[in-house]
Structure 1
Amino acid sequence: MYELKLRGGTVYDGLGSPGVRADVAVTGDRVRALGRDLGPARREIDVAGMAIAPGFIDPHSHSDMVPMMSDPQPFKLFQGVTTEIAGNCGYSAAPMDDAAAREAQALFGDLAAGAAYTARSFGAYLDDIEAAGPTNHLAVMVGHHTLRLRANGMRRKLAPEALAAMCTLADEAFAAGAAGFSSGLIYTPGAYADVEELVALGKVAHRWQRPYATHMRDESDALEAALDEAIEIGRRARIPVQISHCKAAGRPNHGKSAILLDKLHAARVAGVDVRGDVYPYLAGGTMLHAMLPPEALTGGAKALLARMADPAERARLRARAEDPAQAMAAGLWRQVTPADVLINRHRDTSVAGRTLKEVSGAGDAWEALCSLITADVNAMIVPTMMAESDLRTMMADPLIGIGSDNGMPTGLDHPRTWGCFPRFFGRYVRQEEVVDWPEAVRKATSATAAQFGLAGRGWVGPGAIADLCVFDPQNVGHDGTYTVPDVKPTGIVYVVLAGDVVVDGGEFTGERRGRVLRAGHGERAAKAAVAR
């Protein structure tokens, strides 16, 4: 007798095959059979009229510290997401010493989910989030920013032996189970790195057969050069490359989606395993200080505040931000108008939910920006930068999967945090028919599983890990907006996590059954760690 049977749904296997009417039988943490007349189960759920898919896999998450929240919410389970890849954009919660933890708290403390970064190894961090109990599975990459903070602080130039120290720390992280290596080259201190530094770290990842995910050095005026750099790192280190949250940002760059895709396809023909992900929104989400040239953060948060207090330095940074010749070192200022920039997190709560234009009023928007940063270095924004035509073009390409780039599930965060995957399926699959259902499911499952080496996940069939999502194709969606983002998705009816039903009839059971997936340690080790 099976433990669980999902009866009468349309099964999308995650590999792009057409949906078939079948039952799915589960015992333990594995799918044991798929077909009709499979025999009895201790629990049978009638899912006629619904789709049965592999649990969705999010390649681009910032949920590194979510398990440490006092009351972690199942915001990803409600989207049908069973596995997240965290540690993106160069930000990881380890390895840190005391100095790196203080600087990380000052510069990207909003990603700490209300907790505090602490000095610990990468392995100790994985132990800590495992002990806290994630609501869904987490695989975590080691971040370039964190390695650089630990080995070199916020200095632009690498100190002697700093790169060797970074490589040793990366090697230790991979041994502990880091799922890959990430960079965020638009942000500091990662922006200070050259190609040689990144290739050296990439070769450490190569030894462990782990991929490289990058928020590229530029996603706007210098998009072409940034793509060439990312592909060059993958070619020289011979590692898979994931281009994070693909976009052509800024009005002057709308239409460049074709260039991006042409470069990815050409790189694959040349032997570089490169793919990408995209979120189904026209606005991104980032730190307010990303509007500034990266050099503004040289020396860390205290140095940034000193620059913001100096009128001559503010003027110098503005000239650099507005100089077209500084495309790769200018920040986001030239890519948006003040009306495009929604402030969604700020210590001054009266500012949250207003645009930079609204805050500056009749005054100068640059000066208002500097004042806002001075008041809260960790302030966050939602800048509208992309074109609908580019989004659809990228979304339709077989090399591009779906990733949320979520922030913390509190306050006025980007709606992608609560609704990325249901929005994709509801708007762009059911309503707009950008891709069909089999391809849409593949983009949300096996496309990411293959890139990050998640064996047994991302597909449905005998022997697959029983991470499953049952959704209503006619009702799946998300109505969250940039000003009211935290709306519960519709149409996600059941979610099964390694054989356990954790979303039952659309409601969270309260069971925190997530596992920390340590690359190279095997599923047996993951189960043993949970048992402990």
Structure 2
Amino acid sequence: MLDTLIVGAEVIDGTGAPRAPRSVGIEAGRIVTFPPRERPAARRVVRAEGALLTPGLIDPHSHSDWSVLGNRDALSTIHQGVTTEVVGNCGVTHAPISGRDAETSAAALAAFGYTGEIAWRTFAEYLDAVHDGGTAQNLVWFVGHTALRRAAQLDAEERGADLGGALERRLREALEAGAIGFTTGLEYGDGRFAAPEELRRLAEVVAEVDGMYASHIRNRDSSLAEAVDEFFSIVRAGGLRAQLSHLNVRSGTGAAPGAWERAVERLEAERARGTEVLADMTPYPDGIGLATGLLPEWLLRDGLAEAARGLRDPEVRERVRADSDRYWRFLHRGEWHRARLTVSPATPALEGLSFPEITEITGKDEWDSLFDMLAAAGAEMGSVQLIGELFTERHVAEAVAHERFLLGVDGFTSRRDGPLGRRTRHPLFFQGHTHFLAHHALATGTLSLEQAVHKMTGAVAEHFRIAGRGRVRDGAQADLVLFDPERLAGADTLRLPEGDADAARHVWGNGIPVVEEGRSTGSRPGRRLGRSRA
């Protein structure tokens, strides 16, 4: 007897094929399919006439490792039908760490709702800390280069070790723990200081386990072509499968005409040479960013605490103002109306405000207001986040429609209460995934609903080798979502919803109900997925 039988739904199976009626059962956590009129015995029958049944959505570029410890029920993402997230992106993970950095990590995680002890040091211990407490969603882990580099630097200082050797040792430890590869964030953090040769050496280590490389590349405006060249030099050093993270061009920041098109042509050329590489794109013209990305390298070389002290000096501030044409270059050009503060541990009262609104409160201009909050954050300034109007609607649609782009949100799972609720006042966090379906498929026809689901399920599972997921087919893991089409169409809005997304009426993770009739069950059936885990 089946555990559950879903009858009456139109099934979009994750392959890109047209929807078709089918009965779908769940037995011991696996999918069993039947002709639409067949009704095998089941302990529970879900009548789904008029609904759409899809595989559980898979986010190929998530930062939910920042917030999962404060939101194990993954409320904002589970309610959108997201059952698996690929995390550890942009080089930023909270392991490995040294004892000297535990306090800084604790403060950073507190901004995302976690106030527990930082008892882990290795990447393996960190994964145990996350998964031993249970998660609603499955997680596929990368390890971040910034974390690796910081830990390796301290290893080198304390043990007199070679930095390159320490980096390789730390990376091997993470791979043994189940990381599928490593990621970089080369516009900020320690990634700025990493020479291409350092990254190529790490790629060779990842090649030993047939792993992956994903990168927030070094530049996405005036030097996009050079940054893409660097990305592929690293990929080729290890012969790696790869993900070019959010390959997009920020509006009004100096990219040459046609730069994005040429970058995509380069991606196609590399695929023709045999490289397994894809890119990803976000659903909105808005996106999140790290405030430290605006700061020059000379200020950051001695660490964040020292940089914070430097920002208290008026002369240093003037130098930084003059040397700020990087990352979100539109701010250097004075377009502060495009930026809003989202996370600021030292000045939480300003979170959610645009910078023109902040200046009205502080009585200072935008740069000094930003410098004040970074200085006040001290060693925690890496936690200060912004959200900005980054892309044009046309550019978003171009990338979303392109066959080589997966659809990720570049956000993190949130909730409506607590620190996360205060710091995620943007629809990106609560309906970014459903916005792909509602806006780009149902409303504008940028792509078909079947294509959109494929880019959010089967295509992601295939590229990241996530075994047994991303398809509605016999024997697959029962990660499933039952959408109400009318409610789904209503997600085509830029307004923050009053509650959690409600289009996903039922969500199953590994065969266990995590959402029923639009309400979280509190179940945490999520698994730790990786190279050796399925």
Q: TM-score, normalized by length of structure 1?
A: 0.90
Q: How does 1:57-206 map to 2 (within 5 A)?
A: 57-69=58-70, 72-105=73-106, 110=111, 113-115=114-116, 117-153=118-154, 161-206=162-207
Amino acid across the alignment from 1:354:
L
- SS of the equivalent of 2:528 reads coil
User: In 2 relative to 1, CA 65–250 (structure 1 residues): closer, same or farther, beyond 3 Å?
Assistant: closer
Partner of 2:417: none
Confirm or deny: 8 A CA contact 1:75 1:417 kept in the other structure: yes
Q: CA deviation at 1:338?
A: 1.1
Q: CA deviation at 1:114?
A: 4.3
> Is structure 2 residue 262 aligned with structure 1 residue 259?
yes
Distance 1:501 1:356 in 2: 42
Distance 1:16 1:71 in 2: 31
Partner of 1:293: 296
- Residue of 314, 317, 323 corresponding to 1:314: 317
- SS of the equivalent of 1:120 reads coil
> Is structure 2 residue 250 aligned with structure 1 residue 249?
yes
Confirm or deny: 8 A CA contact 1:284 1:382 kept in the other structure: yes
Partner of 1:356: 355
Partner of 1:445: 457
Partner of 1:412: 423
- SS of the equivalent of 1:392 reads helix
Confirm or deny: 8 A CA contact 1:321 1:334 kept in the other structure: yes
Distance 1:238 1:335 in 2: 40
Q: CA deviation at 1:426?
A: 0.8
Distance 1:108 1:287 in 2: 15
Q: CA deviation at 1:259?
A: 2.8
Measured against aligned partners, the alpha-carbon deviations of 1:209-251 in whole angstroms (never above 9, x if no partner) come to: 1211111111222222212211221122111111122321131
Partner of 2:9: 9
Q: CA deviation at 1:312?
A: 2.1
User: In 2 relative to 1, CA 379–77 (structure 1 residues): closer, same or farther, beyond 3 Å?
Assistant: same
User: In 2 relative to 1, CA 13–72 (structure 1 residues): closer, same or farther, beyond 3 Å?
Assistant: closer
- Residue of 471, 477, 483 corresponding to 1:459: 471
Distance 1:433 1:249 in 2: 23
Confirm or deny: 8 A CA contact 2:56 2:507 kept in the other structure: yes
User: In 2 relative to 1, CA 421–205 (structure 1 residues): closer, same or farther, beyond 3 Å?
Assistant: same
Partner of 1:380: 385
Amino acid across the alignment from 2:524:
R
Amino acid across the alignment from 1:308:
L
Confirm or deny: 8 A CA contact 2:156 2:163 kept in the other structure: no
Amino acid across the alignment from 2:404:
L
Partner of 2:285: 282
Partner of 2:402: 397
Amino acid across the alignment from 1:22:
R
Confirm or deny: 8 A CA contact 1:31 1:461 kept in the other structure: yes
- SS of the equivalent of 2:31 reads strand
Confirm or deny: 8 A CA contact 1:16 1:442 kept in the other structure: yes
- SS of the equivalent of 1:247 reads coil
Amino acid across the alignment from 2:482:
V
- Residue of 437, 444, 447 corresponding to 1:432: 444
**Identity over aligned pairs, percent:** 29
Q: CA deviation at 1:508?
A: 1.0
Distance 1:354 1:7 in 2: 47
Partner of 1:530: none
Amino acid across the alignment from 1:440:
A
User: In 2 relative to 1, CA 429–155 (structure 1 residues): closer, same or farther, beyond 3 Å?
Assistant: farther
Partner of 2:491: 478
Amino acid across the alignment from 2:3:
E
Distance 2:65 2:113 in 1: 8
Unaligned runs of 5+ residues in structure 1 are 524-532
Partner of 1:21: 21
Q: CA deviation at 1:112?
A: 7.1
Amino acid across the alignment from 2:395:
D
The count of corresponding residues between Structure 1 and Structure 2 is 514
Unaligned runs of 5+ residues in structure 2 are 415-419
Distance 2:41 2:447 in 1: 36
User: In 2 relative to 1, CA 155–89 (structure 1 residues): closer, same or farther, beyond 3 Å?
Assistant: farther
Q: CA deviation at 1:389?
A: 0.9
Confirm or deny: 8 A CA contact 2:54 2:472 kept in the other structure: yes
Partner of 2:512: 500
Partner of 2:35: 35
Amino acid across the alignment from 1:386:
F
Q: Comparing 430-439 with 255-264, which one deviates more in the overlay? A: 255-264
Q: Comparing 433-442 with 510-519, which one deviates more in the overlay? A: 510-519
Distance 1:107 1:114 in 2: 10
Confirm or deny: 8 A CA contact 1:211 1:239 kept in the other structure: yes
Distance 2:452 2:476 in 1: 19
- SS of the equivalent of 2:280 reads strand
Partner of 2:212: 211
Measured against aligned partners, the alpha-carbon deviations of 1:456-490 in whole angstroms (never above 9, x if no partner) come to: 011111111111111123321537757x4674213
Distance 1:408 1:75 in 2: 6
Q: CA deviation at 1:404?
A: 1.5
Partner of 2:307: 304
Q: Any runs of at least 4 consecutive aligned residues in structure 1 with deviations exceeding 6 A, and if so which?
A: 106-109
Partner of 2:337: 339
